[in-house]
Structure 1
Amino acid sequence: MDSTSPDSEPGRGAPGEQERAAAQLGGSATYFDGLSNRRQIVTIGFANQLVMRSADNFVSWPYEDIRRVDGPSGTLRVSCLSASPLARLEIRDPAVAAELAARCSDIDQNSLTRGAIARIIGWSLAAAASIVAIVLVVIPFAADRLTPLVPPAMERHLGEAAVVQIQTVFGDKVCGETAGQTAFAKLVTALRKPAGLDDSIASQVVDTPIPNAFALPGGRFFLLRGLLDKADDPDEVAGILAHELGHLKHRDNLRQLIHNGGSSFLIGLLFGDVTGAGAAVFASRTMINASYSREAEEAADSFAIDVMHKLGRPTRPMGELMFRITGKEDGKRPSLWASHPLTEDRLARMRAADRPASGPPLLSADEWRALKGICH
């Protein structure tokens, strides 16, 4: 404890051993009592405690209470647990500093030295780097590896949970005009066979002006009326649907769900709880606004081109519809290309793959009119 009164303050040494030790050593240091900003030049001495003496003050600190605090290079700066919290002693003499450090066995206990601060900063940077690695590497890697391991039954269950989210967004707006529904079923069946997909595929048209189409886990996909409104012929719609069937075939929607759901979804997948929050993540991020990777989009394009070739139908109309929607979209509503961004490379590829029609029309003129009016 600091002392300024020779007779009453604890920590004051009697004029004897401690004062003689201070006088004998003759080392000087700078002392701050923590009560004012006044610096005091003191003489250091070592006895059963550290003693500091100036012309008008005598202070003693127990060695076990002395702790190192951060200070300038070449200076030992210490505080004392039993003194004022702001009291400091600065020693520049290397010999005196070494002697004090040798006598204070706990001098570095619970103190943040430069080395400790550097280690904390290093750990913080390492933690930040780990988070970045998890987001950019681990989760995508896990999504790619886990997707093939998800049983079809669980994937269908995920799709059903996602449908609930879709119904929440769009309400009961499924289009069911009989002739239009028959034409839509015919178009989907024509595409499904060359796509190598079975008849468990479920599809619906939803009455909303958003020009979009999207697939869900478990073999479900939706065509939104806004896309039908912008289409000029069946080949344009068929190409878009074939693209979505490609995402289904490659399970891109499930992979995107695992990726977007992050660690919480991965934990749910491991413990079987993937129908609530996980499906909500998919519906909110993947249904309309999220985007597949460039590789996934290009693979779905290739799939659609192959399907259209097998049907003997041109691929250019698919690209023209994509371009038409992209060019006219006002940006105020989510469109197909918010989730399937069109690039010049993709458009050029569809045009380059175009062939003259060699197969029969996918729909008759009457069937096409019925499909266009499916929501009326």
Structure 2
Amino acid sequence: MTVTLDHVTRSVDGIPAIRDVLLGPTLSGKTSIMRLLAGLDRPTTGRVLVDGKDVTGVDVRQRSVAMVYQQFINYPSFTVYENIASPLRVQGKPRAEIEKRVQEVAKLLKLEPYLERTPLQLSGGQQQRTAIARALVKGADLVLLDEPLANLDYKLREELRTELPRIFEASGAIFVYATTEPSEALLLGGRTVCMWQGEVLQAGETSKVYRHPDTLRVAQVFSDPPLNIVGVKKSSGSVQYAGGVQAPASGLYAGLADGTYRVGFRAHQIEVANGIAGRHAFQATVTVTEITGSESFVHLNREASNWVAVLHGVHEFPPGHVLDAVLDPNNVFVFDGSGRLVASPRSSSAVM
């Protein structure tokens, strides 16, 4: 099955919220697209096509669509079994078929021990598993998941996140998954549509969009912690960064024309060391260090700019500590004055 948005716009109070054809920040238009695909809203202009057939005006009840929200939406007085079975009972399926399909999806979602419990007797992760199971049991061709892990605590979110690819593959349906988190997009793979304020910025294979963002804005949307940015001017075989650091125009800079650029680099692209040959070093002041166990997030201040570096292992830097933040000129993203990508890291492994 293929789903196409054909020159779709959606206006909210007269303001365009979507233009043309789902990673993006809050209010980027992800939920609006979900509602259009589900048939809950109609586009202001354009069409929604399923396998080439115009379904723009088809009632939501006649579409083969299921949707999971970030809120835990279950029937509170029903057991888990009854919640999962409810769409099949509405469809008038025979009791034996209901039993078979509920047991199958309960096994897939690891809900078999909880079928006789009510939602209030479940953890948040189990409640959301129940909602996903109810969506899958319908056998819908299209399943929409609108930030389904957003309201789970960290441990439950990580547990369910790693299981989603297995669940999706076993189902056989087409899934559209909306998230604000780049790590979820990378984990799920497939294709990613990068959005900002109702506009599609870039769409393509997830790893390619991540490694080669078309614009500075795409790189920002697809970076967590936030993308670090610094201005740079190339002239006569050297580069000068904002704040006065000067270095040879080596690495990616060598092939650039003289001019002014903006350089972006993700948190893992910063090294903290002294005297590494061929690297460009910046003195920066530590503002805070967050230790998560296997990694340390070091927040830095340099020339009124705030950067974040992620280092493997436990590193304790006191606030006010001055260190060298080091960049490899082969491992940065370079954007021109309009924000278009002109150079990206040469080693694909360096940016993952």
**Larger gyration radius, structure 1 or structure 2:** 1
Larger strand percent: 2
Structure holding more helix per residue: 1
In the superposition, the TM-score normalised over structure 1's length comes to 0.21
| TM-score, reference length from structure 2 | 0.22
